[in-house]
A and B are shown apart, each in its own frame.
Chain A
Amino acid sequence: MTTEAADKGAPRVSPLYDPKVRGIAYQVVLALIILFVVYEATTNAIENLRAAKIASGFGFWSVEAGFDINQKLIPFSSTGGSTYGDAFLVGLLNTLLVAFIGIILATILGFVIGIARLSNNWIIAKLSMVYVEVIRNTPLLLQLLFWYNAVLKPLPDPRNSLSLFGAIFLNNRGVVMPSPVPGPNFDWTWIASLVAIAIWIGLSYFARKQQAATGKRFPANLIGFGLFIILPLIAYWAAGSPLSFEYPKQSRFNLTGGMQIYPEFVALLVGLTIYTAGFIAENVRAGILAVSKGQSEAAHALGLSNGQTLRLIVVPQAMRVIIPPLTSQYLNLTKNSSLAVAIGYPDLVQVFTGTVLNQTGQAVEVIAITMLVYLTISLTTSFFMNIYNSRMALVER
């Protein structure tokens, strides 16, 4: 081999001094060290668990849990024979719920604040600045405790609830609302909504085509939205108003019946939304400032209004700068939702690495699963945001 290399005119070197060979050797050594450490750690853990006679494995998954959780999106009760696996699902869904709603609200609030910070109105701009600085520079845990202990707990007790129209009640156990009970023909309303959405999509397709061909604008969104409101209403009325409400009733301890939103959820959602919105606002501001001033001046020169300039010229270009840091804020929000432990919201960490870990004593398995779940959620979020990012990215021809 070396003779061949020499034939081609390359300088003859010992493999010991060949940078390529050395590079590979380093990689191999590093990989071996990592493998060795991982192997040692795993076998040690297994060995020690066995020596201490601590149960291991995932057999606990289908063992009956025997405890209760207040907020659950799927049925879960100690009476119904729910298992630790079910408890895991309840916790996971609660995490996803607060993360999903939190991301939507934080995005909306963040965009509003970010744009407001660049407003020409002095008061609005300064207020937004104060918001961003205060929220970004205090610890999230402190803010959560503030919302939970200082804002929601001092509300009146359930016997003296604040009530709105005698239907919605607010007390220190959360918000209780009438829950809708759909009647037999209620499905027509859903069908009407779906039809309206289909028409809406068709209209906007038609509008885009028409604008490309003739330059005329067609108010597809306005009409689509109108249909989305009106069609289901007509269907609802035609089917004979098949919806009744179950109103909350005062019982000895609590309001029973209706839908209840727990204060732990509200505190966590509000805390996460407001905190993350502060960061998103800065991302948005940075994104908008990154769009050169000439763009908006050109838009104004073409006769676009301030709103149109923002909506059609500035924001689409700013999005390219905003999306990557926005993704990391979404991930932060999801991961920060584990601070739920501090205020007793039954999220994945609270339920699974709290109660389940403690009742089963299988720390290694439980923590490993939990880490894997957060990793999966984060990677999935990144994946979709990357797809969105590549669609928004500048298409170069």
Chain B
Amino acid sequence: MKSIFKAAALGVAALGLTIGAASAQGVLQKVKERGQLICGTGLGIAGFGMPDEKGVWKGLDIDYCRAIAAAILNDPMKVKTVSLTAKDRFTALQSGEIDVLVRTTTWTMSRDTSLGLNFAGINYYDGQGFMVRKSMNIKSALELNGASVCTQQGTTTELNLADYFRANKMKYEVVAFVTNDETIKAYESGRCDVFTTDSSGLFAERLKFSKPGDHMILPEIISKEPLAASVRHGDDQWFDVVKWVHYAMLNAEELGVSQSNVDQMLKSDNPEVKRLLGTEGKFGEMIGLPNDWVVRIVKNVGNYGEVFERNVGSGSLLKIERGKNNLWTKGGLQYAPPIR
């Protein structure tokens, strides 16, 4: 009898301890020990994160996960993706189910503060747009008074939509669904006149339609949607790693270091390139990584420009222009602090 009590008491104590110790260790250390990065992604948005015909996840967001894994573990495939709906993504990150969330997620003040997240580098400057049927003969979003609008719930999209119609004194009916697929299906079946999401998403989703030519994207961009990777509050080392992986990819593009020439670049005399690739200084060690961390990223995944073109730009079906996502030196907004 006594032994049962003892066992029960021990069990309870152990339970209490494990819960208590859950957040003591840093994420970087955990990823190294686990040998795998757990990355929160979407359910499938072309160009940003979607499995290809062989079931391998591809996309701009996925390449960010791969870049982080490459920097830490020197293997871009050591990534476990967890598909999340817009509604579940923050809870998954807050609860520690995933290490990093790279899921076309807009950086907003409330998310940055009260949700307990830190946003690490904007990997895509987006804005919300509207898609309608060409047969409706609509030229501008200002003609949408009285329309039914399909959107995904729990997104900034849902809020911007309300703001836009309110600001322009128009009426609308909102139909909100949990997943993107349900939203699209409802729009395509005619439940709504309008489908709204980030404009990159509009381009991506239109490709999936049976007749993409029947649908058009209205010229208005109604919001700022800086899409960024995010991590939990309270682990600054991990925040630095994720942030600097992004900046490293931008700096690599700016300095002309690409997947194909990275080995030659290792012999470069340019001090900036030397610091970037770790042949000079100990910048990798500052964030708990080996000094050749950028070499690993660029060799395995590529610089920002390469990743962009491959997934959403000219090398993809989406054919999105660099636009705001070009480097600051080329008229865009992508700007990385220097490595020095």
Contact = CB atoms under 8 A, between A and B. Distances in A.
B252 interface: no
Contact of A263 (B22, B111, B191): B191
Contacts of B189: 149, 153-154, 172
Interface residues of A, number: 47
Contacts of A41: 19
Given A51-B234, A157-B190, A355 B23 contact: no
A53 B114 CA distance: 7
Contacts of B313: none
A143 B178 CA distance: 18
Contact of A37 (B5, B15, B148, B163): B15
The CB with the most chain B CB atoms within 10 A, among A48, A68, A69, is that of A68
Contacts of A253: 144, 146-148, 193
Nearest to B183: A344
A70 B178 contact: no
Contacts of A254: 146-148, 173, 193
Interface in A45-84: 48-49, 51-55, 66-70, 78-79
B68 interface: no
A357 B175 contact: no
B1 to A, nearest CB: 9
A67 B162 CA distance: 6
B22 A48 contact: yes
Nearest to B167: A79
A340 to B, nearest CB: 10
B114 A360 contact: yes
Contacts of A361: 90-91, 94, 110-111, 114-116
A208 B159 CA distance: 60
B178 A359 contact: no
B116 A54 contact: yes
A53 B146 contact: no
A252 B182 CA distance: 25
A49 B176 CA distance: 29
Nearest to A29: B5
Contact of A52 (B154, B163, B191, B232): B232
Contacts of B161: 67-68
Interface of B: 5, 8, 12, 15-16, 19-20, 22-23, 86-87, 90-91, 94, 110-111, 113-116, 143-148, 153-155, 158-159, 161-163, 166, 172-178, 182, 185-186, 189-191, 193, 232-234
Given A40-B16, A49-B116, A157-B190, 18 more contacts: A36-B16, A52-B233, A54-B114, A55-B116, A70-B175, A78-B159, A79-B166, A172-B189, A173-B148, A252-B147, A253-B144, A253-B147, A253-B193, A254-B147, A346-B176, A355-B158, A355-B176, A358-B86
11 contacts: A36-B16, A51-B23, A55-B113, A66-B159, A67-B159, A68-B162, A68-B172, A70-B174, A254-B173, A342-B182, A357-B91
